[in-house]
Amino acid sequence: MEDKEIILKNIKFYYRRYIFFVFIFLFSIIVNASFWGTVKATTLYFSPSVGSYDSNNIFSVGVYVSNPNESMNAVSALITFPKEVLEVASVSKSNSIINLWVREPSFSNSQGFVNLEGIVLNPGFTGASGKLLTINFKVKTAGLANVLFSEASVLANDGQGTNILTSLNNANFYLGSTNVLSNELVKPPKTFNSPIIYSETHPNPSDWYAKDSINFNWLMTDDVTDVGVLVDQKSFTNSGTVSVGKIDKYTYSNLDDGTWYLHIKLRNASGWGQAGHFQFNVDTEGPKNLEIKIVDRTDMTDPKIDFIFSAEDELSGIDYFEVKIDGTVDKNVDFESATYQAELLGLGNHIITVRAVDKAGNFTEDSIDFVVEELDAPVIDEFNRIITTNDTLIISGRSSANSKVTVWLQNSGGDIIKNIVDSNGDGEFRVTVGDRLNEGTYEIRAEVITDTGAKSRPSDPLLVVVRQPTLTMIGALTITFLSVVVQIAGLLAMLVLLILYFRYKVKKMLLKFRKDLNFTETDLHIAFNNLKKNIKNQEDMLNNKKINHEELTEEDEKLMLERLEVDLDKVEKLITKDIEEIKGKLLKDKLLE
């Protein structure tokens, strides 16, 4: 009986162990299946994957890899396109995750393919949107263009070269006018495959946009009768069988921030087709908790100042920091580094303004003040305040230790002579002005700059007077005196000559005047003698009349007066003639003007 109970206990024990191990085995299978199903979800895709473009337009299509759970280190792909309607204008490796190209990307428009093959160096790439290549297509003519991955592989960074590619997402582009496109659309089967969806407002599913209103479009044929639309935050929701009518566009507004999905199904006479899904990302909030910090600054005179920035953005993430110094944009700083050095700022107060920009374009801005203090200006202790043009000017002083001291002299004309010397460990400096200075008054100033770039303001000006040597001055004065004497003597000689000349001219004129006066005097004597003679005759006639006791008749009086008037007229005419002649000669010789 006891043996039987022992046997039953053993059977129960082993049965329980068996059940336990079966459970563990099944659990491990489920976990491993889940693990491998997650790890190997590696996709090659195009972005944008749909679109409509006019003839002769050039548009860009990015080739991407998505492997969010396992690192990859090599990729190759043969991409084909319809050469009748499309051609490759160029390809670009800009911003590619590929570090080493096994073969340079190539393309053939005659055969309609693009080929790429490259390696991503350790630690490889892990992420949702690793850009491999950009293809710039040009539209040749209207039609439907299916851009396909004909051959492709993505190798894991596991040391064994395991191909982890699980899916390929191709692209479809509609080229030319709508009328042409509608004629070239392929008729659907009994039920539709998932429709092709695109958005003008949120074109790239992997990018973030600062818009809470989104416009969708999708392509459909004429036999579509109903469309089912649903927007939610689940990636593969079935939009159901509720029709919103026959529409080919849809706008959804006032969305909350986050990752959203549009789900669309089309129905024709044969029923509902497969659901299509389109991801879009909304981030309308700016970054938060922006901080600007000055890093370990102990020397307030150092014009090279290090800053570090930090900010948070829960959705799209920080893209970069824009930096302004005193209102002027200096540069953009990557979020990964988030460090910035302001170089060689001027003395005084400054403002640094930092704008944190997220990947959707939202931003938050903040500023802090800081100051660059000045060093003490150099002190000039010793120099000669008065020197000659033959002397050498020597200037001594004190400043910051082991720094460069600039000493300059400026004359009244604005000319500057600069000398740069190094101060010693005690801050002492000595300047010997090599050039001989010209005569004049000079201002002496000095400033200091350290090896860190810290500097002082110029010192207060000091005056130095430069004169000619004494002997040179005496010689110069002598020469100056003699030259003045010679000039004065010359002027005196010229003055004497002028006086002599004037005297000569005056004497000559006086001689002429005297001669004319002599002629005039003679004429006057003659005229007055004639007048006296006539008057005497008249007097004799009157006396005779008186002696003879004859009375003077009226005729006699009239005759006497007529003769007297004739004589006076002759005298007057003679005097007037002589005066006019003298006056004319004086005017001719410019003595009467």
Q: What is the pLDDT of residue 533?
A: 74
330 is a domain residue:
yes
Q: Is residue 593 part of a domain?
A: no
Does residue 473 sit within a domain? no
Same domain, 251 and 146: no
What distance lies between CA 165 and its chain's CA centroid?
Answer: 49
* Residue 120, in any domain of the structure: yes
The pLDDT tens digits along the chain (593 residues) read: 444 454 344 444 444 444 443 343 343 434 344 333 444 578 999 999 998 898 888 999 999 999 988 899 999 999 999 999 999 999 999 899 999 998 899 999 999 999 999 999 999 999 988 999 999 999 999 888 989 988 888 999 888 888 888 888 999 998 875 444 444 444 434 456 678 888 999 998 889 999 999 999 998 888 899 999 999 998 778 777 788 899 999 999 999 999 999 999 899 988 888 888 889 999 999 999 999 999 988 889 888 899 999 999 999 999 999 999 998 888 888 888 888 988 778 889 999 999 999 999 999 999 999 999 888 889 998 888 888 888 888 899 998 888 889 998 888 888 888 888 898 989 899 998 877 788 889 989 999 888 878 888 888 898 989 888 865 555 554 555 556 566 777 777 887 787 777 777 766 666 666 666 565 666 666 766 776 777 777 777 777 766 776 666 777 777 777 777 777 777 677 677 766 776 666 666 554 44
Let me know whether 171 and 52 are in one domain. Answer: yes
Residue 479 covered by a domain: no
Amino acid in position 195:
P
End-to-end CA distance of the chain: 180
Longest Cα–Cα distance of the chain, Å, equals 238
Q: Does a cis peptide bond (omega within 30 degrees of 0) precede residue 195?
A: no
Tokens 């496109």 sit on residue: 181
Our count of domains for the chain comes to 6
Please give the pLDDT value at position 64.
Answer: 95
In order of 475, 490, 494, the CA distances from 482 in angstroms are 11, 12, 18
Q: Output the pLDDT for position 471.
A: 57
User: What is the domain-level CATH number for residue 391?
Assistant: 2.60.40.10
**DSSP per-residue letters across 413-478:** T--EEEEEEE--TTSEEEEE--SPPPSEEEEEEEEEE-TTS-BBPPPPPEEEEEE--HHHHHHHHH
CB atoms within 10 A of CB 130: 20
| Residue numbers of the domain that contains 565 | 489-588
pLDDT tens by residue, 539-567: 777 777 667 766 667 777 777 777 777 77
The residue among 137, 155, 185 that closes a domain is 185
259/340 same-domain check: no
Q: Are residues 66 and 116 in the same domain?
A: yes
Same-domain pairing of 99 and 50: yes
What are 169's two structure tokens?
A: 């997402």
Q: Which residues pair with residue 380 across a beta bridge?
A: 397
Residues 327 and 295 in one domain: yes
> Is the domain of 419 the same as that of 445?
yes
64 and 115 belong to one structural domain:
yes
Amino acid of residue 236: F
CB 137 within 8 A of CB 89: yes
